[in-house]
Structure 1
Amino acid sequence: MAERPPSVPRLAWVAWEEEEKGTEDAPAWQPDEVEEVQLLQADPDWNLPEEQEHAQALFHSSAQKFWESLEPSEREDATIAAVEGMADSDSYDAEACAAMLDVLVESDASRLQHVPSIVRCIYRWLVSNTHVSAEHRLDNSLLELTHAHPHDVAVTLLRCAPSCDRAAATMWRVMVSGRSTAEQVLRELVCVLEDWPLHSTCTSDGDSADVFALAATRVLQEILRLPRRPRRLNVLFPRIFLALLCQIFFATKQMPEEVDTFWRGCQQEGCPPTNPSRFAMLTVKALLCRLDYDDMVFEVECKRGWDTLLSAETHHCAMGLLARQVCGISRRLCYRIAGHLVKLLRRKKQLWEVPAMAFLVELLVYPNVRRWGDNILQLVPTYLQSKCRVMRRLVLRGLLALCKTPLMVRRGSRLKACWQRGAGLIDLLMDADGEVVGMSLSVLSKVLRATGIPIGSPITLQLADRLRPLFDSDTNHVQLLSMHLFRDVMEFVVEEGKKPLKQHVRRSLIPLLCHLHDENQHVAEASRETLLQAIKFLKNRKLQQLLEREQTWVVGKYLLAEYSSRVDEYLQQCVLYLQSPQASMREAAIMVLGLAGRHVAHQQVKLQVIYKALQSTTKDVSDSVSSLASQTLFLLRAAERDPPSRFRLQVLQERFRRAWRRRPSLWDIGFLCCWSSVQS
């Protein structure tokens, strides 16, 4: 028996062999008869007997000669034309169509550009076929075609039936049931899911019509209803999970008109959810339950996380909740999801960066997830400059988490280079959000301590300029962190940067001196430590000894004497501290003003500034503050009015020192009687 030529389909060859047993001479088919078959099938008046006769001619005695007489490029064209012509007619032979489709799929000469046409033919065959028993007649052909051309098959079917009707659902179930096609099909669906609202792609026939992401979601929901879990679904879970969460977020926004039209069509097909966001959320639940994560679904439900997920304003909060639940499932799963999140954030998908970052930050609780640290650091410069306050907080939380792992500590130079290259951390110290400022200080301090590498002069000067105003922050946490970081800056500055930094250090002396009397003991202690480091940095041995002995009064006296050229600047700083909400801080400012009065005794303009400031403080709500201000004002004016023989400088200083020490009980001892007489 002759061997089947490679160009002849298997079914056609078998039919020909059977025919050859009964007859030796078969009429030869000529190429021009191809046109006759196509014309007849395109004719709406073509009757059923003629249709069946010509359709079955391809599979009987003359099949071999017919195929051999055609060019390879014409063979599939003729068969597809026959199938499409039969499908368009009012009545046709379903078995003949199925046989033709089998031939097309099994043919070694099948060309790629015909795949979309074959898929459409299979779909139309299923739509027209009302016999459930014959529903799986073309399963093997569909699986073979999908295995060879998964992209063309999946995308074409999404275009044919975006709402996933009965026929399309049958085809999808067949494709994901195959051992070799399930993962291929799921990967194609994921590519569509990840693009909202439309996935732009092109099939081999040149069709570039966009595919709806919601259409892929509809298909996925149908697949998740199968009795058996599709193969490799757990491998693709991170991508599918995140793509669906992304859809929920975008569906809460105003939908494009074409998406709204598509969704109305889905509802006409019987899709129950009232809106796309809820539909995507139900698909997420189905996905989790299909992978036996029912407990996670229940826990999120108890915390009303699913409802929170449906609001664009609270979506990022729900993402954090979901991430914490995922952390309880598997560390390996967290690592895989984090990897996909990093890829998504690199794509800079508009609007969805905040939810994605919220999920990623929660996963950083695990050290294995922090292995993505280098990739995350590459994202920091972009997202740290975001105008969104929530995004800035999330990025800073992520940086703080990365600072906790030994790996990042060993690679601390990368963290340091991150903010030295302008990642925006220093600029955030001027942010109006106190929490953002606090986290920025923490990151800067941890990075500086982790690396121990000296920092250059431009960075130290910029930091010093930003840190000094934070000493007076309304938040104690920010005060503490700013003082500690200022101390670290003085410690880690490079040698050539010390001289320009001294100007900033001298400006910080009065604020630090006043904060020695802060009501918060932690802030007062931090101020003392930072002031001591500043005096060491300035190499002032005498002031260092006085501060170590905690002789605050004498420290202020010698500080003004040592830096008398900066008295004007110190006066301005002290006047500002008279507005401090803390009485102890206002008292400290009065003390410095009294000491400064000695150095400007012959400068009436500056003395008047001091008098005016003290006079306004004599009516302070605190008795101790008002009494100290009155006494200081009296002593300064007395020293200015009386001759030096009567009020020597040492006597004035001693009286002022006693007034400072006894300031809580000045009113009780009637110390201001003389001042009252002067006033009268």
Structure 2
Amino acid sequence: MVIRNCWHNRPIFSVLINILQKQDYTNHFTALVFLIELLRCPQVAAIVDDAAARILGNWFKCEDPATVKLLLQVVEIFAKHGNMARQLSLLQPYVLSCCYSLDSQLVLETLQALRCLVEHLTWQHSSSFLTQLTFTLMPFFEEDSEILRLTAFEIYGILLDKIKRNVLVFPLRHQVLNLLVVLVLHLVDMNVSVAQVCRPTLCHTATILGWSKLKTIFAEKDVWTILRALLEQESSKAPWFLKQSMMLFKSPQAAIRQAAVWFAGQIIQTLPEEDTSDIEAAYSALWEMQEDPDPSISCLATQTFYILEAREKMVAQASTSCLCGRSSRKRHF
């Protein structure tokens, strides 16, 4: 019927929508399967109005994963038609809510549907949704599941490719900066594919932030060199980088925790003494990292903690010496 573009496709679609309007309809699964096939026809998709989109959206509330997976197919079909931004805007909140499902397979299919959305949406018509998506993706970057983690990074990379420097305003700029250390540290991700996705995403981040010197470093250097260069060029953002690093102390991957501990130690040494709250929080977190199950990380945390303590004592002694010197000079005069 779809291939032949039968004239009665649209009337049948209207009948199916009327059927699905009844939430207690027992054969809704069959109706949805039939409806999905009809929606592949552009002439049928053209008659999907707000009312029809809302009826489909209501079915996302059902607790049947199989039904929700069919609805995710509907969303992908809408995106591929390319002219259904209005209908998609009504369904997007339901799709995002599926990211929090307890069904891991449904979450994966939701991310795959989101990737399709991001590939086909334009920034002009979907900037609000795409910005919201950057916040929704954040927890998935530390997922144990490699496929979920990889898919999340792929979506973020595709999304960033749609962003130009002139649209990078709050809160999007805030979130792009907030995910910077995450991207750098996942260059040592145990999944090589994740690391390969993070590299070009980092370079594009540098482009939209106007960091031309760092872009070359992001493209060619290792994690340690990148972190040093980042801290050197963007020293004003050191407290921000510290908070991001401390969040990654809880990463399930030892290599990422190790890099996070090392970077935190480097940052603390650059912070002025008046940033007491940031420093105290970091010291407390480092103290806890001495109990990390990975011996290399616990050892690094201990070494970092003692190095920082020794530095603090040296600064205190130097400060005392200066005060004594001033006092002696005053007495002499």
What TM-score comes out, normalization by structure 1 length?
0.40
8 A Cα contact 2:53 2:90, kept in partner: no
Q: CA deviation at 1:336?
A: 7.6
Name the structure 2 match of 1:587.
258
8 A Cα contact 1:428 1:440, kept in partner: no
Q: How many angstroms apart in 2 are the aligned matches of 1:561 and 1:497? A: 26
| Residue 577 in structure 1 maps to residue 253 in structure 2 | no
Name the structure 1 match of 2:74.
398
| Residue 387 in structure 1 maps to residue 61 in structure 2 | yes
The structure with more radius of gyration: 1
| Residue 458 in structure 1 maps to residue 128 in structure 2 | yes
Counterparts of 1:275-674 in structure 2, within 5 Å, are: 340=12, 343-347=15-19, 348-352=21-25, 355-358=27-30, 360-361=32-33, 364=36, 370-371=40-41, 372-374=44-46, 379-385=52-58, 386-390=60-64, 391-400=67-76, 402=77, 409=80, 411-414=81-84, 416-421=85-90, 423-425=92-94, 427-428=96-97, 430-433=99-102, 434-450=104-120, 454-455=124-125, 457-493=127-163, 497-500=167-170, 501-600=172-271, 602=273, 603-642=275-314
Letter in 1 for 2:300: L
**Total equivalences in the alignment:** 307
Counterparts of 1:21-100 in structure 2, within 5 Å, are: none
Q: CA deviation at 1:488?
A: 2.8
Q: How many angstroms apart in 1 are the aligned matches of 2:7 and 2:147? A: 33
Question: Would the alpha carbon gap of residues 335 and 560 (structure 1) be closer, same or farther in structure 2, given more than 3 Å must change?
Answer: farther
Q: How many angstroms apart in 2 are the aligned matches of 1:536 and 1:381? A: 39
8 A Cα contact 2:287 2:305, kept in partner: yes
Q: CA deviation at 1:538?
A: 0.6
Q: How many angstroms apart in 1 are the aligned matches of 2:149 and 2:57? A: 23
8 A Cα contact 1:425 1:444, kept in partner: no
8 A Cα contact 2:16 2:35, kept in partner: no
Q: CA deviation at 1:413?
A: 2.5
Structure 1: give runs of 5+ residues left out of the alignment.
Answer: 1-326, 647-680
Q: CA deviation at 1:485?
A: 2.5
Letter in 2 for 1:634: Y
Q: CA deviation at 1:418?
A: 2.5
Percent identity over paired residues: 22
Between 1 and 2, higher relative CO (CA 8 Å, sep ≥ 6) is seen in 2
Letter in 1 for 2:256: M
Question: Would the alpha carbon gap of residues 362 and 506 (structure 1) be closer, same or farther in structure 2, given more than 3 Å must change?
Answer: same
Q: How many angstroms apart in 2 are the aligned matches of 1:527 and 1:535? A: 12
Name the structure 2 match of 1:194.
none
Question: Would the alpha carbon gap of residues 456 and 356 (structure 1) be closer, same or farther in structure 2, given more than 3 Å must change?
Answer: closer
Partner SS for 2:157: helix
Output one character per residue of 1:456-478: Cα deviation in whole Å (capped at 9) or x when no partner: 54334322222333322343333
Letter in 1 for 2:248: Y
Question: Would the alpha carbon gap of residues 642 and 463 (structure 1) be closer, same or farther in structure 2, given more than 3 Å must change?
Answer: same
Output one character per residue of 1:415-447: Cα deviation in whole Å (capped at 9) or x when no partner: x33323554256326533444443343333323
Q: CA deviation at 1:451?
A: 5.3
8 A Cα contact 1:509 1:531, kept in partner: yes
Output one character per residue of 1:638-657: Cα deviation in whole Å (capped at 9) or x when no partner: 222236999xxxxxxxxxxx
Question: Would the alpha carbon gap of residues 633 and 429 (structure 1) be closer, same or farther in structure 2, given more than 3 Å must change?
Answer: farther
Q: CA deviation at 1:587?
A: 0.8
Partner SS for 2:210: coil
8 A Cα contact 1:532 1:544, kept in partner: yes
Q: How many angstroms apart in 1 are the aligned matches of 2:89 and 2:9? A: 30
Letter in 1 for 2:307: L
8 A Cα contact 2:188 2:223, kept in partner: no
Q: Compare 464-473 and 608-617 and name the one that shifted more.
A: 464-473
Structure 2: give runs of 5+ residues left out of the alignment.
Answer: 319-333
Question: Would the alpha carbon gap of residues 494 and 429 (structure 1) be closer, same or farther in structure 2, given more than 3 Å must change?
Answer: farther
Q: How many angstroms apart in 2 are the aligned matches of 1:448 and 1:483? A: 12
Q: CA deviation at 1:503?
A: 1.9
Q: CA deviation at 1:585?
A: 1.7
Partner SS for 1:611: helix
Question: Would the alpha carbon gap of residues 541 and 508 (structure 1) be closer, same or farther in structure 2, given more than 3 Å must change?
Answer: same
8 A Cα contact 1:381 1:422, kept in partner: yes
Question: Would the alpha carbon gap of residues 495 and 623 (structure 1) be closer, same or farther in structure 2, given more than 3 Å must change?
Answer: closer
8 A Cα contact 1:338 1:363, kept in partner: no
Output one character per residue of 1:603-626: Cα deviation in whole Å (capped at 9) or x when no partner: 444333222212211222112221
Question: Would the alpha carbon gap of residues 541 and 473 (structure 1) be closer, same or farther in structure 2, given more than 3 Å must change?
Answer: same
Q: How many angstroms apart in 2 are the aligned matches of 1:418 and 1:481? A: 25
Letter in 2 for 1:424: P
8 A Cα contact 1:556 1:592, kept in partner: yes
Q: How many angstroms apart in 1 are the aligned matches of 2:229 and 2:22? A: 60
8 A Cα contact 2:92 2:129, kept in partner: no
Question: Would the alpha carbon gap of residues 489 and 429 (structure 1) be closer, same or farther in structure 2, given more than 3 Å must change?
Answer: farther
Question: Would the alpha carbon gap of residues 453 and 608 (structure 1) be closer, same or farther in structure 2, given more than 3 Å must change?
Answer: closer
Q: How many angstroms apart in 2 are the aligned matches of 1:422 and 1:495? A: 28
Q: How many angstroms apart in 1 are the aligned matches of 2:199 and 2:316? A: 36
Partner SS for 1:352: coil
Q: CA deviation at 1:454?
A: 3.7
8 A Cα contact 1:457 1:494, kept in partner: no
Letter in 2 for 1:483: F
Q: How many angstroms apart in 1 are the aligned matches of 2:174 and 2:270? A: 21
Letter in 2 for 1:468: M
